[in-house]
Structure 1
């Protein structure tokens, strides 16, 4: 973690938990629209959608993080697509809802138990923000298709 006091992040919901991405990677947050499903996609990939005249892969972030089975796409009002730009490679992440853009105080980091240090490869920490836990995701781990991610046990790692 760098020596800044706060990181400005988009805080969003996946199932019943809160996660965050540093806003420096986010291009836009938008409502879900139509997308095309392709054969033989990874289990976390929902399909392709159009964004600013580009064809962009749409990823179910819950499934990508090992949090749930592949979700069926819907048009619920809370669902959003977080569009990121990884050095010219555009990606959309479907999330259940976006809470807000918040300053995550790095001084509020929760210590991970010793048996869960491998989580540090995919998260920049778990923080307390307004009396709730927020898991700050490492951007490069989430966008790397070769990175295997399973955050289903993050609560055990902090003793929640």
Structure 2
């Protein structure tokens, strides 16, 4: 399990984000959405779900749907290896707390991202639908794509995740 290193002190005007990799690109989500990071383990397949929904996991007695970010972005399904993780996020959807697992290739670090330095997504070139991108943060290693997780999960996706949870 990767060890996360938080930056020293939060910078005013910055927001902490969890950075991770999907294929060769670096992505980030606001840390406030992240509940935990677990090793990729047994995922139960649920029939008749879109290909980007791996299935569900049992997380301490709770059924949590698992979504493959790479497949959601139009890439081939992830093949788990020793660095593959499931990032458990929690969103409020239809006034209900919903936990969702996101399959990522590797978790990198907790970053302080200065909101003033986040650039808008380019209209092309990131390799994923730009509707999914909240912005692009630049640091010494290059760009990190800041995801708008609510757009990654469309209303139809949320219905499918809910069905996956109920079908298990």
Band the TM-score falls in, shorter-chain normalisation: 0.7 to 0.9
- Per the TM alignment, residue 111 of structure 1 is displaced from its structure 2 partner at its CA by 4.9
- Report the TM-score when normalising by structure 1: 0.77
What residue is the counterpart of 1:132 in the other structure?
142
- Per the TM alignment, residue 112 of structure 1 is displaced from its structure 2 partner at its CA by 4.4
What residue is the counterpart of 1:99 in the other structure?
108
What residue is the counterpart of 2:55 in the other structure?
47
How far apart in 2 are the matches of 1:137 and 1:43? 20
How far apart in 2 are the matches of 1:111 and 1:24? 21
What residue is the counterpart of 1:80 in the other structure?
85
Structure 1 residue matching 2:27: 3-state secondary structure: strand
How far apart in 2 are the matches of 1:30 and 1:130? 28
1:16 aligns with 2:24: yes
Structure 1 residue matching 2:156: 3-state secondary structure: coil
- Report the TM-score when normalising by structure 2: 0.74
Once the two structures are superposed, residues 79-114 of structure 1 have per-residue CA deviations (whole angstroms, 9 ceiling, x without a partner) of 11100111221100000000001111223333545x
How far apart in 2 are the matches of 1:112 and 1:28? 27
> How many residues are treated as equivalent by the alignment?
138
Q: Is the 8 A contact 1:25 1:139 kept in 2?
A: no
RMSD: 1.9
Runs of 5+ in structure 1 lacking a partner? 148-160
Q: Is the 8 A contact 2:17 2:31 kept in 1?
A: yes
Aligned mate of 1:69, from 54, 73, 76: 76
How far apart in 2 are the matches of 1:110 and 1:89? 29
Distance 1:58 1:7, change over 3 A: same
- Per the TM alignment, residue 53 of structure 1 is displaced from its structure 2 partner at its CA by 1.2
What residue is the counterpart of 1:155 in the other structure?
none
- Per the TM alignment, residue 70 of structure 1 is displaced from its structure 2 partner at its CA by 1.8
Runs of 5+ in structure 2 lacking a partner? 1-11, 158-168
